Amino acid sequence: MANRETADTPADRAYETPPTERPITDAEAARAAKLSANEHIKIASGYLRGTLAAGLLKNATGAISDDDGQLVKFHGMYLQDDRDLRAERTRKKLDKAYAFMIRLRIAGGVVTPKQWLVLDDIARTYANGTLRATTRQTFQYHGVIKSNLKRTMAAIDGALLDTIAACGDVNRNVMAATNPAQTGAHAAAYELARTISDSLLPKTSAWREIWLDGERVVGGEDAAEVEPVYGKTYLPRKFKTIVAVPPSNEVDVFAHDLGFIAILDRKNRLTGWNVTVGGGMGMTHGETDTFPRTADVMLFCEPGDALKVAEAVMTVQRDWGNRTVRKNARLKYTIERYGLKAFRAEVERRIGRAFKDPKPFRFEGNGDRYGWVEGEDGRHHLTLYVASGRIKDVPDGPQILSGLRRIAEVHQGDFRLTGNQNVIVANVPADRKAEIDALVAEYGLATGAGALRRNSLACVALPTCGLALAESERYLPDLVGELEASLAAHGLAEDEITIRMTGCPNGCARPYIAEIGLVGRGPERYNLYLGAAFDGSRLGKLYAGDLPAAQIRATLDPLFAAYARERRAGERFGDFLVRAGHVERTVNGPDFHDRTGPQRAVA
């Protein structure tokens, strides 16, 4: 993996001079500096308290105030409404059908069978009867009404879990490599993810005070030591951390702010970590100063220095990130603004020493390995496909919610969520495999899914996400069926191709690094991106903008035909499209918007 600043950046690229002061925390000074609206909300919040406690007592509406709607994200929640019901409720002069999405913080996506049973109970009692495994390697609940929020949070706390920092301008749920064939390396990845998650957690007691009626700490929000790392303004934007173990990149390390790539010796023992910075997926349609970006590989650190590096990277972003223009506040824009060389120098200065340059590594793909896998320790792990991560009982189909509950009742190991929205029944002794297999068969949990479907991701989108411009979770299964027919007609039914869809350009399902990426533009209209790398290391390029859903198959079919005719041995679909000249190769973030569209006529 090349250092982008030496390989892809012009030698005469001019960077800005980084700031030298900590972020503004005084309200008057923030107004004078014209900081973004969210900065004022955070400064005035009393360390994430706002008026949330009082707002929960207002029974006249299922909503909360706009400012509290921003603060509640730090507590792991988003206020939503059922958009399928908006028009009818408006006609009847009723309030919107408000409810909350609640996301848990589960470092590395690992839960015990006992915890699974509690989470299942919560889904059936307070949510919409489903659990959703997210692309952030955790669970989300949908449909929790305001009057049930505290009951739900108490139940989550009772399972020794929480939701603090699952959303908001903080270090969010830390993801880690999941399929533990390389047992020692994966254990190290999980331990690092858990350590970073705990160490970079906000220290405010607001979560327990508001949701669990915890007693207020003496001094409350006036205590200067409440947030020794984050301060009153926390981070400029969301911050996502990943731990990956080659050769699998199932956590998509290049799509996130901070990443650690395990460097292993010939016996699969960990020698240290390559550190990546500056990845991110979100953008805004029509605004070319926003773009997705793949992360740079910055340095190599030994295992004992990994937490120090994580803290330093986050605090540099805390101090250097753009707090005036929120759409340009992610770490990827900080790297573009000040340069990787300056960023690395500041990280090393804060730690107090220089680090080695990155070590060689190789990824093979960013999908999951389905079925049974045996680890180096003799334990067994079963990865089950879950369409769009929606854990529910399907009429006349797989009974995923009930089946996994039954497995949790007898399972002696643990469960692991993957970054691809699937579930692993992990750490199964060899003599218990048959029992698990019987339950899988009884509940239809291993129903066949073709190669394209196995490599698909979708965000929730409509009807609950307020940002969605088009369908995603509800539409992608049908589209995949259409594309599977095209692939089969060209002899490609078993070819692994990644496809991802989102209802808006924020990129929650990471569509820009899928070989086929579809991003909602409006009702039944999508931007089609092609040419990304199968291992998640290269962005795609816009091939067709504002494409009607009815034309997606017709647009892709000739490209499938060309791929079948002209590909080289072992060549992936995205690589073929770039080599054959159908789409330009994206080499960095700003380049994402250049040289778009079909570059070569296709028969």
pLDDT in tens, 467-522: 999 999 999 999 999 999 999 999 999 999 999 999 999 999 999 999 999 999 99
Mean per-residue pLDDT for 303-325? 98
The average pLDDT across 389-408 equals: 96
Mean pLDDT of 299-320: 98
Query: Residues comprising the binding site?
Result: 459, 465, 504, 508
The separation between CA 387 and the C-alpha centre of its own chain, rounded to angstroms, equals: 16
Residues within the annotated binding site for siroheme? 508
The shares of helix, strand and coil residues in the chain, as percent rounded to the nearest 5, are 35, 20, 45
Q: Is 301 a catalytic residue?
A: no
- The owner of tokens 């500041």 is 346
Long-range contacts of 222-231 (CB under 8 A, 24+ apart): 226/47, 227/47, 227/202, 227/203, 228/203, 229/200, 229/203, 229/311, 229/314, 229/315, 229/318, 230/170, 230/202, 230/203, 230/318, 231/22, 231/23, 231/25, 231/318
Q: Give 271-282 pLDDT, tens digit per residue.
A: 999 999 999 999
pLDDT in tens, 30-51: 999 999 999 999 999 999 999 9
**Vertex 213: Cα angle to 207 and 214 (nearest 5):** 70
Q: Per-residue DSSP letters for 528-579?
A: EEE---TTS-S--EEEEEEEEGGGHHHHHHHHHHHHHHHPPTT--HHHHHHH
pLDDT tier at 358, thresholds 50, 70, 90:
very high
pLDDT value, residue 510: 98
Is 167 part of the annotated catalytic residue set? no
Question: What pLDDT, on a 0 to 100 scale, did the predictor assign at position 305?
Answer: 98
Mean pLDDT, the chain, integer:
95
Query: What is the pLDDT at residue 214?
Result: 84
Q: Give the torsion sign (CA, 478, 480, 486, 489).
A: negative
Residues 6+ apart with CB under 8 A from 594: 584
172 as an active site residue: the answer is yes
Question: Smallest Cα–Cα separation from 587: which of 386, 291, 333?
Answer: 291
E strands of 65-206, at which residues? 77-81, 98-103, 110-111, 131-133, 139-144, 175-176
pLDDT tops 50 at residue 1: no
List pLDDT tens digits, range 437-456: 999 999 999 977 999 999 99
Task: Reply yes or no on whether the pLDDT at 9 is more than 90.
Answer: no
Q: What is the mean pLDDT of residues 172-197?
A: 93
Label the pairing between strands 139-144 and 77-81.
unpaired
How high is the pLDDT of residue 342?
98
The pLDDT score that the predictor gives to residue 447 is 78
What phi, psi does 304 have (nearest 5°)? -70, -10
Annotated catalytic residue within 508, 510, 521, 541: 508
Tokens of 245: 């173990």
Determine the average pLDDT of the residues in 72-96. 95
Mean pLDDT of 557-584: 98
Active site residue: 330, 465, 521, 572, which one? 465
Which 3-state string (H, E, C) describes 283-338? CCCCCCCCCCECCEEEEEECHHHHHHHHHHHHHHHHHHCCCCCHHHCCHHHHHHHH
Catalytic annotation present for 238: yes
Closest to 256 measured CA to CA, from 229, 238, 234, 274: 238
Q: Which of 444, 454, 548 is nearest to 494 (CA)?
A: 454
For residues 178 and 592, which has the higher predicted lDDT (pLDDT)? 592
240 catalytic residue (yes or no): yes
**Per-residue pLDDT tens for 89-99?**
999 999 999 99
Catalytic entry in 500, 504, 567, 572: 504
Residue 13: its pLDDT value, please?
A: 82
Rounded mean pLDDT of 525-554? 98
Q: What is the pLDDT of residue 55?
A: 96
- Going by pLDDT thresholds of 50, 70 and 90, the confidence category of residue 371 is very high
Give me the catalytic one of 42, 103, 416, 567: 103
Distance CA 274, CA 297 (A): 7
Catalytic option among 172, 237, 330, 541: 172
Among 49, 146, 238, 416, the active-site one is 238
Set 73, 146, 392, 459: catalytic member: 459
Query: Residue 2: its pLDDT value, please?
Result: 40
pLDDT in tens, 136-183: 999 999 999 999 999 999 999 999 999 999 999 999 999 999 877 888
Q: What is the pLDDT of residue 448?
A: 79
Whether the CA torsion 409, 410, 416, 420 is positive or negative: it is negative
Full-model pTM? 0.96
Catalytic member of 42, 240, 344, 538: 240
Residue 215 is predicted with a pLDDT of 65
What is the structure's pLDDT at 4?
Answer: 44
Q: Give yes or no for residue 421 having a pLDDT over 70.
A: yes
Query: Count of alpha carbons within 13 Å of 356, Cβ hemisphere only?
Result: 11
Asked if 227 and 202 count as a contact pair (C-beta separation under 8 A), the reply is: yes
Q: What is the pLDDT of residue 5?
A: 43
Q: Is the pLDDT of residue 220 over 80?
A: no
List binding-site positions for [4Fe-4S] cluster. 459, 465, 504, 508
